[in-house]
Structure 1
Amino acid sequence: MNKVDRYLKAGTRENTRRSYRAAVEHFEVTWGGFLPATGDSIVRYLADYADQLAISTLKQRLAALAQWHITQGFPDPTKTPTVRQMIKGIRTLHPAQEKQAAPLLLQHLEQAIDWLEQQATLAAQQHDWPTVLRCRRDAALVLIGFWRGFRADELSRLRVEHTEMQAGVGISFYLPHSKGDRQHLGTRFQTPALKKLCPVQAYGNWITAAGIAYGPVFRRLDRWGNLAPDGLHANSLIPLLRRLFRRAGVPAELYTSHSLRRGFATWATANGWDIKSLMSYVGWKDVKSAMRYVDASHSFGGLAEKPLAPGITPLALE
């Protein structure tokens, strides 16, 4: 790969490249379309899958086909008036409510953490160090994911050398790139120590127990307690969380990894955070994105004491 190709490749996220390849293959192999395509063939393709695929999926397929044509030097057939009219018609005849993960309730978060602490204490008494490690990792994962409002991919990319922790004060995470960081300038996320359900203490407990000084914060553990050198894959977080919640007696089927982010957004709104403060803290760039995560019907309770940062509503729990 030459220098030009390397920089062009770096300009697109790997997940996007993978999904675009799959979309082009679906059009060409599964449906039997020909490339370069015409506007009429794109319309027929959309018609065949209009009642099978979500409108968001169809639009993603169009984006992939558009990119293929542009990069190959062909006119983009997805921008014709007929294709745009087709999308409007599909949206009208097949309206679909967006599926969202349920926000993690604070009582369920506390129930899961209490269970993990009990299991870690019992395992330590029995010298079962693999179980101690797993409990410490999972507690840190859940508490950081909730109070920091991280996505699954952000949790999976946290690194020890990019994290600064001061016990009893706070913790700072640096991500070289994130979904909202379009310029790839890097973003630093800060969270204070809390009186209860503290992500700072949970992180310290996990790093100390695991003896990690460099590399991914959250890693796979085998049955003997051996740590993998690479980080957890983002897609592994949902089964991990559901397994934890199920064992802790929490209704696991309600929640996904997005439940941590939605849970925090809902808790913050119920405790008086305005939308500007919430957007600044979590990292949303527009109000529409933020409002998708807020569920005003839930109230978590709790009192605020310690400020997160200037201008942001306090977060500490009683």
Structure 2
Amino acid sequence: MSSASPPSIERRAAELDTIASVLPMDRRDELAELLTDQDIETLRHLVNEGMGANTLRALTSDLAYLQAWSLASTGMSLPWPAPEALALKFVAHHLWDVEKRLTDPLHGMPAKVEDKLRSQGFLRSSGPHAPDTVRRRLATWSTLTKWRGFEGPFGSPALKSAIRLAVRATPRPRKRKSAKAVTGDILSRLLATCHSDSLRDDRDRAILMVAFASGGRRRSEIAGLRKEQLTQEEPIPVDGETPLPSLSIHLGRTKTSGAESDEVVYITGRPVEALDAWLTAARIESGSVFRAIDRWGNVSRRCLDPKAINDIVKQRAKLAGLEPQEFSAHGLRSGYLTEAANRGIPLPEAMEQSRHRSVQQASQYYNNAQRRSGRAARLID
């Protein structure tokens, strides 16, 4: 893959450990082999400058893919700046005509490049990439080029034209992140599968309840949650009953917050109890909250990968007798707002918890809920 010597790879792996809290460290060794010394130094600089953890994870993921693709297709790491021809090659390898591929096997990504990326886990599905994914990776490539003091070819008319024409040739129906929202009734069915006192059930129960109750948190936020972000709050009084436990979660800077914002959300009652039960059972006093569990029941020291949150939702859906392909981790986010709308919670109040910044985006869930239950949808009932 890379011409770097083993000691060089080990050194880069050790350097990556210094910024482990904001990187997908389940792929640390792979990143150490793919990324160059300059790449890692750039990432370390961004950590020190305070770039948001989620943004940095996405950037690192894109950079690793770009380096893997460059090595597979040219035999070399990405050059800085990249020539226009290489950027055009990237477009040609990722946006192509499915029909033409049937008659021309050389059209699109070469088989040897595809096989290499698939063996490394960078390709999972067949067919051309989503245009938005290609644009995002090109934007990451452009940003990293500028940080190195170069301009690059990313604003060239030829590249813009190539992308526009390629998108026309690769029609893809837009897919929702989760076909179905995980509303309260669905969540209850998922939680019912976590009925034992096993560590795995304790963890998954806490993940589902905390992710939903905290406003439908993104899977990266749940996977990266650390004990240091949790603060016990004063219990909430309830007339004639035991006060409810309360917890604040300090999200720091998120995808939608400002540069200086420390986003905070609150959970109360059963989600707090579920989280406490998991932390106690797993003996977690610091560091990552949600961790992998091996086949022997040993709890890892490292956090779950965000993809694992998605897998947990699908696995629990299957155990609940639901179609797993219809649900994903994003369903917890859309489900929170949909459930809030169904219960008549005012949109601004729900947005305070979900931390949506766009009223237009958040109101879609409310509008859909109101349309389903409104008179216009029940002219014949």
Asked if Structure 1 and Structure 2 have the same fold, meaning a TM-score greater than 0.5 normalized by the shorter chain, the answer is yes
8 Å contact kept, 1:108–1:250: no
Tell me the distance in 1 between the aligned counterparts of 2:171 and 2:366.
22
What is the CA distance between 1:93 and its match in structure 2? Answer: 4.7
- 2:61 counterpart letter in structure 1: R
8 Å contact kept, 1:262–1:294: no
Which of 49, 53, 62 is the matching residue for 2:129? 53
Give the corresponding residue for 2:286: 214
Aligned residue runs from structure 1 range 1-318, under 5 A: 6-11=44-49, 13-26=56-69, 29-30=72-73, 35=79, 36-39=81-84, 42-43=87-88, 45-47=90-92, 49-51=94-96, 52-96=128-172, 97-101=174-178, 102-117=180-195, 119-120=196-197, 131=198, 133-148=199-214, 149-165=216-232, 166=235, 168-183=244-259, 185-193=261-269, 198-287=270-359, 289-290=361-362, 296=368
Tell me the TM-score normalized by structure 2: 0.63
- 1:100 counterpart letter in structure 2: K
8 Å contact kept, 1:261–1:293: no
User: What is the SS of the residue equivalent to 1:98?
Assistant: coil
Tell me the distance in 2 between the aligned counterparts of 1:248 and 1:98.
24
Tell me the distance in 2 between the aligned counterparts of 1:231 and 1:45.
32
What is the CA distance between 1:39 and its match in structure 2? Answer: 4.5
What is the CA distance between 1:265 and its match in structure 2? Answer: 1.7
- 1:14/1:253 CA distance change after superposition, 3 Å: closer
User: What is the SS of the residue equivalent to 1:107?
Assistant: helix
Q: Deviations over 1:22-50 (max 9, x none)?
A: 22552574278984445466446434532
Tell me the distance in 2 between the aligned counterparts of 1:225 and 1:300.
45
- 1:56/1:226 CA distance change after superposition, 3 Å: same
What is the CA distance between 1:143 and its match in structure 2? Answer: 0.9
What is the CA distance between 1:228 and its match in structure 2? Answer: 2.3
User: What is the SS of the residue equivalent to 1:175?
Assistant: strand
- 1:242 counterpart letter in structure 2: K
8 Å contact kept, 1:216–1:230: yes
User: What is the SS of the residue equivalent to 1:116?
Assistant: coil
Give the corresponding residue for 1:123: none
Cα root mean square deviation, aligned: 3.5
- 1:62 counterpart letter in structure 2: L
User: What is the SS of the residue equivalent to 1:104?
Assistant: coil
8 Å contact kept, 2:177–2:328: no
Tell me the distance in 1 between the aligned counterparts of 2:330 and 2:350.
16
User: What is the SS of the residue equivalent to 1:78?
Assistant: coil
Contiguous gaps of at least 5 residues in structure 2: 1-14, 16-37, 97-127, 236-242, 374-381
8 Å contact kept, 1:279–1:285: yes
8 Å contact kept, 2:341–2:365: no
What is the CA distance between 1:152 and its match in structure 2? Answer: 1.3
User: What is the SS of the residue equivalent to 1:191?
Assistant: strand
- 1:92/1:292 CA distance change after superposition, 3 Å: farther
Tell me the distance in 2 between the aligned counterparts of 1:153 and 1:70.
27
Tell me the distance in 2 between the aligned counterparts of 1:214 and 1:29.
40
Tell me the distance in 2 between the aligned counterparts of 1:176 and 1:284.
15
8 Å contact kept, 2:229–2:250: yes
Aligned length in residues: 284
What is the CA distance between 1:291 and its match in structure 2? Answer: 5.6
User: What is the SS of the residue equivalent to 1:77?
Assistant: coil
User: What is the SS of the residue equivalent to 2:217?
Assistant: coil
Tell me the distance in 2 between the aligned counterparts of 1:42 and 1:103.
38
Tell me the distance in 2 between the aligned counterparts of 1:79 and 1:253.
38
- 2:222 counterpart letter in structure 1: L
- 1:258 counterpart letter in structure 2: H
8 Å contact kept, 2:229–2:251: yes
Tell me the distance in 1 between the aligned counterparts of 2:210 and 2:371.
20
User: What is the SS of the residue equivalent to 2:63?
Assistant: helix
Sequence identity percentage: 23
What is the CA distance between 1:114 and its match in structure 2? Answer: 2.8
- 2:230 counterpart letter in structure 1: T
